[in-house]
Amino acid sequence: MSAAIPGSGDGPRDAGAFAPSLVAELALARPATPVLSAYVRTDPRDPANTNHVPGWLVELRNGLRTIGDRLDRDGPRSERLAYRGLRTAVEADIVELEPSERARGVAWFRAVDGTIDRRLRLQLPPRETSVRWDARPFVSPLADVADRGRATGLVLVAQDRVRLLHWEAGLVSEPHRSLYELELGDWREYAAYAMANPARGQQTATNTAVYDARVEEWQGRFLRETAKATTSRIGELGWRRLVLAGELTLVEAFADALPPDVGDRVVARVAANLLAEDAPVVADRLEAELEATWRAEADDAVARAVGAARAGGPGATGLAEVADALAQHRVEHLVLDPLCAFDPAGIPPTAWAALGGAPAELVAERAVELAIASGAGVTALAAAESERLQEAGGMVAALRF
């Protein structure tokens, strides 16, 4: 029986922005025919993409050609013919996309029988351009985009205003009731009569000190009230992380006003006055901080899993242990190198069956699918960039029990 992805009937011309919920839909899909999965890193900021023939197009064509050559050698005739048709259509359609439709990345999943046909615009680009031909959608790179792009609240702090923005998967949006402004009421700087001086005529003096003290008091109250209002909206907006930006003294005052459990969600404090900037400018300015935050969280997840495993607690390291835990739906958070060709030798029989007897190059992909199916979090991290992950065999997991 084929498995259709809801909303896919209109085909790629109904393409839209990436939604994290789509990862699970694709991971659970079991179509009756093979699927071509293409990830194209079209990011115009990449130097290679400024060439007359952009780098992403060269890499896409190379990837499509490699699959075609393999099928010509080993594939059945019906599959070879089906792939040729999809290859031509996908390449032509991506080339014809307008730059705005290509965004910073494109992900396309297309089954031979048409039950899956989804093309997505990505504002958080995939790590690289890659193409896969498999019995089901190849979701590891999309799971990586979803993990790096977890919903985050951007709190822009100024002396008299606080602005809230929602960042997710590289896109910034403005929630309803997103701007809080300080209102000074009737307080104004005013002139008061000075004490009479017999030697001079009547004088006036500006009561600046009193006015400034009142403004400072109101600013402190404003930041406390705004912190309280932000706290009340975190659940509604789905923010597990907060990034604060502004003059650092104001940022620290705002952070200090947050309850401890909310303050723990502040992952970065950035000295940048962005309150009046357009949302895309804010996203560009804070992207490096968000990426650095993600990397620190990924390294911490590896350290916690390794530490728990060594202490005999809820942690697993290496393919055999993690695969066994995945088969039992015990994994809370999986961290792995999705490009690692894991040797399946030594995997327990039940775990091997759960992985579908996948070849070495698909073991990581099947592990990701199992994790997503059981509701576990997934983080993709190159082992070469993490000494701990490399020492643990390229795959670790925090366990539920």
Last residue in a domain, options 127, 148, 169 = 148
> Are 142 and 161 members of one domain?
no
78 in a structural domain: yes
CA distances in angstroms from 105 to 41, 79, 136, 169, 214, listed in the order given: 5, 28, 21, 11, 51
> Are 204 and 320 members of one domain?
no
CA distances in angstroms from 152 to 13, 172, 254, 278, 377, listed in the order given: 30, 10, 17, 17, 16
**Containing structural domain, residue 167:** 154-277
Mean pLDDT calculated for residue range 33-46: 97
289 in a structural domain: no
Q: What is the pTM of this model?
A: 0.85
Look at residue 210 and give its three-state secondary structure: helix
Give the chain's domain count.
3
pLDDT in tens, 312-343: 999 999 999 999 999 999 999 999 999 888 98
> Are 363 and 304 members of one domain?
yes
Res. 194: pLDDT tops 50: no
Last residue in a domain, options 92, 118, 148 = 148
The string over 49-81, giving b where at least 16 C-beta atoms fall within 10 Å of a residue's C-beta and e elsewhere, is: beeeebbbbebbbebbeebbeebeeebeeeeee
282 in a structural domain: no
Bridge-partner residues for 162, per DSSP? 157, 180
What does DSSP say about strands 179-181 and 191-193: parallel, antiparallel, or unpaired? unpaired
pLDDT in tens, 342-374: 988 888 899 989 998 888 889 999 999 999 999
> Are 268 and 331 members of one domain?
no
Q: DSSP characters for 125-169?
A: --SS-EEEEESS---HHHHHHHHHT--EEEEEE-SSEEEEEEEET
CATH of the domain at 380: 3.30.1330.30
